[in-house]
Structure formats: C-alpha cells, structure tokens
C-alpha cells in the first residue's frame, strides 16, 4: 500500500494517526480477527452483506497501513521499532522519529516500543 493511503488508528480523540503514531499501538493481527468476525457475524447485529464487506475492507486497509508503517519505522539493522514515529503520509514524504507524548525518547526501542511485538504477528 502506498504511503499515506489506507488507515491508521488515532491515539486519542484529537491526535494521532498520520501526524503521530506509536508503533506499539498498532495491532494488525487483531485487526484481521475483527475483519473475520465482521464478515462471519455482522448479520447477527443488523449489518447487510454489503455493509459487512465495506467494513471488512476498512479493517483490511488498517492491517495493510499498519504493516507499511511498521516496516518503514523498523531499524534495518536490528528490526526494532522506535517508541514514537511520524509516518510517511499526507504530512511528509518520509517517516521519522518524533512526536513523543509520554516522556520516552522517540528514537529508542524503549518501554513504549517493547509491547508491540505480540500485537503484530498472527495468521491470515
């Protein structure tokens, strides 16, 4: 997926997404489970097949954007991601570290980044 396309979660009600992201907040393995659930059980909650497909496509866009951003943020020598990342997208052509809001150093694999490992893996 090209940079800046797709979806990224907001980190709060009024910030996050393309302007500032914490790689540990992304959970593409879980987003896949949510997509499958919507396709299998959406009708039980009043969703039409078309609506289920539309929402499933939005979950898939979130999965793909998450993996794109994580790949971009990943250190090429260690494979680790930083605590905070400003992804490539509408605001900038290339991603960079920065925008921390928790007091952790943005460019380190620290207490923020360490929790991301278990949220990324998962089956299709």
3-state secondary structure 62-94: HHHHHHHHHHHHCCCCCCCCCCCEECCCCCCCC
State the DSSP H helix or E strand holding residue 96, giving kind and residue range, or none if neither: strand 96-97
pTM tops 0.75, yes or no:
yes
The tens-digit pLDDT sequence of the chain (124 residues) is 445 567 788 777 777 777 888 888 888 888 999 899 888 887 787 777 778 788 888 889 889 988 888 889 998 998 888 988 888 877 778 888 888 777 888 888 877 777 766 566 554 4
- Taking the C-alpha atoms of residue 53 and residue 83, their distance in angstroms, rounded to an integer, is 34
State the DSSP H helix or E strand holding residue 97, giving kind and residue range, or none if neither: strand 96-97
């Amino acid at each position: 997926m090209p940079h800046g396309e797709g979806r990224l979660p907001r980190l709060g009600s009024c910030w996050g997404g393309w302007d500032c992201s914490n790689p540990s907040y992304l959970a593409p393995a879980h987003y896949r489970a949510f997509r499958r659930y919507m396709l299998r059980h959406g009708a039980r909650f009043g969703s039409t097949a078309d609506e289920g497909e539309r929402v499933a496509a939005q979950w898939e866009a979130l999965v793909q954007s998450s993996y794109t951003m994580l790949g971009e943020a990943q250190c090429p020598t260690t494979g680790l991601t930083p605590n905070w990342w400003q992804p490539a997208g509408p605001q900038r052509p290339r991603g960079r570290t920065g925008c921390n809001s928790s007091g952790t150093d943005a460019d380190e694999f620290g207490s923020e980044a360490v929790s991301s490992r278990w949220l990324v893996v998962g089956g299709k």
